[in-house]
């Protein structure tokens, strides 16, 4: 819909230059990944290519209204929406009235309903449209809104997704306000078409990425539903991994000073972090949640308590029988001796019972003497099973569990836990990753490897691993040390955790260069402030942290 007769000559001297600009703009639109910047580029490019003084970009909402996204006016120095951070204080333009009838008196709404451009030479003389809002704006600002070019933006499915409206075309020689030419309109329509497709593609990519991340969160939620103790871990390890990676990206000294991260690198590492434990979806709950050494579906220490009660009952019955069978003339002295022996036996039983209860709680190291005592208790007592057979007080499985040297897991259960990383790698390597995410399996699958090649599942050495995978290794360890939501231990303090991590640096467990960055960039403190309880964040004396070295001079 063209409402002026101004035509530019076909051999306009700037036509080829403007077409070249249009091509360059198309390239720029296809490269932009941020929606806000993309919308801004669209409007600024339209203003430039038509030499307009101002313009507005509207987006069509799900409620069928046109929302103000970007506003610019050079004369009035107005810049709203987009990257400016300045909110546009205008209500959206509704496409239908309260009765549901189409609104066609507003130019932008008319362009949507009729699916055509509207080119107006002078708003003050044009009939058929409501420009009262424009005139009130002019009255308040002293501005003179004159020529309008309103172009609907349609995607590849020919659906209108927005409107581009340009204001006051300026003569490139005199600077005076003129009507938009047919050439301007064709260029704006071409730009609007390219812009709409670029915007739709970016929105589609964003929707797919959101869907993908939601699916990842669904997997983590399933793991969390199995065990609330792993849910926080699945969130904290990616966060700490990104903190350390940003620290490496920022550091200006040391062997890693040339390491850089692009936005694509960040996204790839983020996805790997979110998926680093996805294999735990197959890990049995009773192993993941094993709070004590005897815990399976329930804590079997209660069964052993019951046996102790049976042993004590049998001892009491034996005492009473012995007293009954004692001749009357010897009764007083024998009864006294029997009571003393009974009291001694009760103390011994209660001591053994308490010892096993303490042994059932996982610790960092079980002394050899304690391991031996568990075996002695197993044969020290006997009791009748349901078949009436005399059996050892503790089963072989109970002895194996109660003599676990560190933690709460047996060797077999540790293998079950460790298997999750193999499952993780298998799951991730089976997926058809796009080019920018091809390293996700490597990053996610390497967080249990050691720098000296003694880790699992593949026994990789430092040289065989990327910086990103090594970052995740440190993050996984530090999170585990400080975690306060594990059933089998309390969260360690900051200084305790750094001391252990420093020892891991010295013994070849973690990357020494990344440990240095972890300390120099105070990544540990940033993480502590976000994810640790206040009582865990104690004073850190760097001189006492094993392996710590001050940063070199730049």
Contacts of 22 by beta carbon, 8 Å cutoff, 6+ apart = 49, 187, 190, 191, 194
One domain, residues 445 and 305: no
Helix, strand, coil content of the chain in percent (nearest 5): 55, 10, 35
The position carrying tokens 């440190």 is 474
Rounded to whole angstroms, how far apart are CA atoms 278 and 407? 23
Rounded to whole angstroms, how far apart are CA atoms 149 and 129? 14
Tokens of 350: 């209660």
- Write out pLDDT tens, residues 319-375: 888 888 877 666 677 788 888 989 999 999 999 999 999 998 877 788 999 999 999
Is 182 domain-assigned? yes
Q: Where in the sequence is the domain holding 363, given as residue range(s)?
A: 301-408
Rounded to whole angstroms, how far apart are CA atoms 79 and 74? 8
Is residue 397 helix, strand or coil?
A: helix
Q: What is the CATH number of the domain that holds 49?
A: 3.30.450.40
> In this predicted structure, what is the pLDDT of residue 26?
66
Domain boundary among 408, 430, 465: 408
Is 288 domain-assigned? no
Name the most confidently modeled range: 14-18, 264-268, 328-332, 399-403: 264-268
Is residue 80 helix, strand or coil?
A: strand
Is residue 387 helix, strand or coil?
A: coil
One domain, residues 377 and 341: yes
One domain, residues 19 and 44: yes
Q: What is the CATH number of the domain that holds 451?
A: 1.10.3210.10
Is 217 domain-assigned? no
The secondary element (H helix, E strand) that includes residue 20 is helix 15-31
Nearest to 57 by CA among 167, 146, 208: 167
> In this predicted structure, what is the pLDDT of residue 355?
93
**8 A C-beta contact, residue 35 and residue 205:** no
Domains held by the chain: number:
3
Is 212 domain-assigned? no
80, HSE (Cβ side, Cα atoms, 13 Å) = 16
One domain, residues 13 and 146: yes
Pairing mode, if any, of strands 65-73 and 52-60?
antiparallel
pLDDT of residue 92 exceeding 90, the answer is yes
Is 413 domain-assigned? no
Tokens of 342: 């009974």
Is residue 210 helix, strand or coil?
A: helix
Tokens of 263: 């936005």
Domain boundary among 153, 172, 204: 204
**8 A C-beta contact, residue 254 and residue 492:** no
Tokens of 339: 């009571």
> In this predicted structure, what is the pLDDT of residue 245?
96
**8 A C-beta contact, residue 474 and residue 245:** no
Pairing mode, if any, of strands 2-3 and 118-120?
parallel
> In this predicted structure, what is the pLDDT of residue 4?
45
The share of the chain scoring above pLDDT 90, in percent, equals 51
Is 553 domain-assigned? no
Is 455 domain-assigned? yes
One domain, residues 371 and 470: no
CA angle 287, 291, 295 (to 5 degrees): 65
Rounded to whole angstroms, how far apart are CA atoms 194 and 22? 9
Give me the count of residues in the chain: 554
Rounded to whole angstroms, how far apart are CA atoms 44 and 180? 16
To 10 degrees, what angle do helices 467-482 and 494-506 make?
A: 140
**8 A C-beta contact, residue 220 and residue 233:** no
**8 A C-beta contact, residue 287 and residue 416:** yes
* pTM for the model: 0.68
One domain, residues 426 and 401: no
> In this predicted structure, what is the pLDDT of residue 329?
60
**8 A C-beta contact, residue 169 and residue 54:** no
Rounded to whole angstroms, how far apart are CA atoms 504 and 479? 14
pLDDT of residue 8 exceeding 50, the answer is no
One domain, residues 9 and 95: yes
Is the pLDDT higher at 155 or at 51? 51
One domain, residues 397 and 254: no
pLDDT of residue 382 exceeding 70, the answer is yes
**8 A C-beta contact, residue 402 and residue 362:** no
One domain, residues 378 and 424: no
Query: In whole angstroms, how large is the CA radius of gyration of the chain?
Result: 37
Tokens of 255: 């062997």
**8 A C-beta contact, residue 359 and residue 293:** yes
Strand intervals (E) in 416-492: none
One domain, residues 351 and 235: no
Nearest to 496 by CA among 530, 535, 462: 535
Give one word for 415, left, alpha or beta, with left for phi > 0 and alpha for psi -120 to 50.
Answer: alpha
> In this predicted structure, what is the pLDDT of residue 11?
41
One domain, residues 263 and 307: no
Rounded to whole angstroms, how far apart are CA atoms 517 and 526? 13
> In this predicted structure, what is the pLDDT of residue 488?
60
**8 A C-beta contact, residue 505 and residue 456:** no
**8 A C-beta contact, residue 221 and residue 210:** no
Nearest to 520 by CA among 203, 266, 257: 257
The position carrying tokens 């590492």 is 269
Q: Is 419 exposed, middle or buried (0-12, 13-18, 19+ CB in 10 A)?
A: middle
- Write out pLDDT tens, residues 204-226: 888 888 898 898 888 878 777 77
> In this predicted structure, what is the pLDDT of residue 494?
95
One domain, residues 62 and 193: yes
User: Stretch 300-318: mean pLDDT, rounded?
Assistant: 89
> In this predicted structure, what is the pLDDT of residue 487?
62
> In this predicted structure, what is the pLDDT of residue 499?
96
> In this predicted structure, what is the pLDDT of residue 5?
41
Domain boundary among 386, 408, 430: 408
Is the pLDDT higher at 142 or at 384? 142
Is 550 domain-assigned? no
Rounded to whole angstroms, how far apart are CA atoms 233 and 224? 9
Q: How far is CA 550 from CA 261, 512, 520, 542, 547, in A?
A: 24, 13, 7, 9, 10
């Amino acid at each position: 819909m063209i409402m002026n007769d101004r035509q530019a000559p076909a051999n306009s001297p700037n036509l080829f230059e403007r077409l070249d600009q249009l091509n360059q703009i198309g390239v720029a639109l296809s490269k932009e990944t941020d929606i806000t910047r993309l919308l801004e580029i669209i409007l600024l490019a339209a203003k430039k290519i038509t030499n307009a003084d101002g313009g507005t970009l509207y987006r069509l909402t799900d409620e069928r209204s046109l929302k103000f996204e970007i506003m610019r006016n050079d004369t009035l120095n107005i810049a709203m929406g987009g990257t400016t951070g300045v909110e546009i204080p205008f209500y959206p333009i509704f496409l239908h009235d309260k009765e549901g009838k189409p609104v066609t008196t507003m130019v932008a709404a008319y362009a949507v309903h009729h699916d055509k451009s509207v080119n107006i030479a002078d708003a003050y003389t044009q009939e058929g449209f409501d420009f009262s809002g424009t005139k009130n704006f002019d009255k308040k600002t002293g501005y003179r809104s004159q020529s309008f070019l309103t172009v609907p933006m349609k995607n590849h499915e020919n659906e209108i997704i927005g409107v581009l409206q340009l204001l006051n075309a300026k003569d490139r020689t005199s600077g005076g306000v003129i009507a938009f030419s047919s050439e301007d309109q064709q260029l704006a329509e071409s730009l609007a078409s390219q812009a709409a497709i670029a915007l739709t593609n970016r929105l589609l990519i964003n929707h797919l990425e959101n869907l993908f991340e939601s699916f990842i969160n669904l997997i983590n939620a399933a793991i969390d539903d199995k065990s609330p103790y792993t849910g926080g871990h699945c969130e904290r390890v990616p966060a700490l991994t990104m903190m350390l990676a940003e620290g490496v990206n920022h550091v200006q000294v040391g062997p890693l000073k040339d390491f850089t991260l692009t936005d694509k690198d960040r996204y790839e590492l983020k996805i790997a972090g979110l998926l680093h434990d996805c294999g735990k979806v197959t890990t049995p709950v009773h192993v993941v949640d094993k709070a004590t050494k005897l815990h399976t579906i329930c804590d079997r220490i209660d069964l052993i308590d019951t046996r102790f009660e049976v042993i004590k009952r049998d001892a009491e019955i034996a005492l009473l029988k012995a007293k009954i069978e004692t001749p009357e003339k010897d009764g007083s002295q024998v009864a006294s001796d029997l009571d003393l022996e009974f009291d001694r036996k009760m103390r011994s039983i209660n001591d053994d019972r308490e010892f096993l209860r303490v042994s059932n709680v996982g610790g960092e190291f079980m002394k050899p003497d304690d391991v031996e005592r568990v075996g002695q208790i197993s044969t020290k007592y006997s009791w009748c099973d349901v078949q009436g057979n005399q059996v050892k007080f503790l089963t072989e499985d109970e002895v194996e569990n109660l003599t676990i040297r560190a933690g709460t897991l047996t060797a077999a259960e540790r293998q079950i836990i460790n298997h999750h990383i193999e499952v993780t790698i298998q799951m991730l390597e089976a997926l058809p990753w796009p080019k920018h995410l091809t390293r996700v399996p490597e990053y996610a699958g390497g967080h249990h490897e050691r720098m000296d090649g003694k880790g699992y599942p593949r026994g990789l050495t430092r040289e065989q691993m990327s910086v990103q995978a090594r970052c995740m290794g440190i993050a996984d360890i530090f999170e585990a040390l400080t975690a306060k939501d594990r059933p089998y231990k309390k969260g360690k303090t900051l200084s305790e955790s750094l001391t252990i991590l420093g020892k891991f640096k010295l013994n070849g467990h973690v990357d020494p260069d990344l440990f240095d960055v972890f300390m120099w960039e105070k990544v540990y403190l940033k993480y502590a402030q976000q994810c640790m309880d206040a009582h865990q964040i104690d004073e850190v004396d760097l001189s006492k942290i094993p392996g710590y070295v001050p940063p070199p001079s730049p």
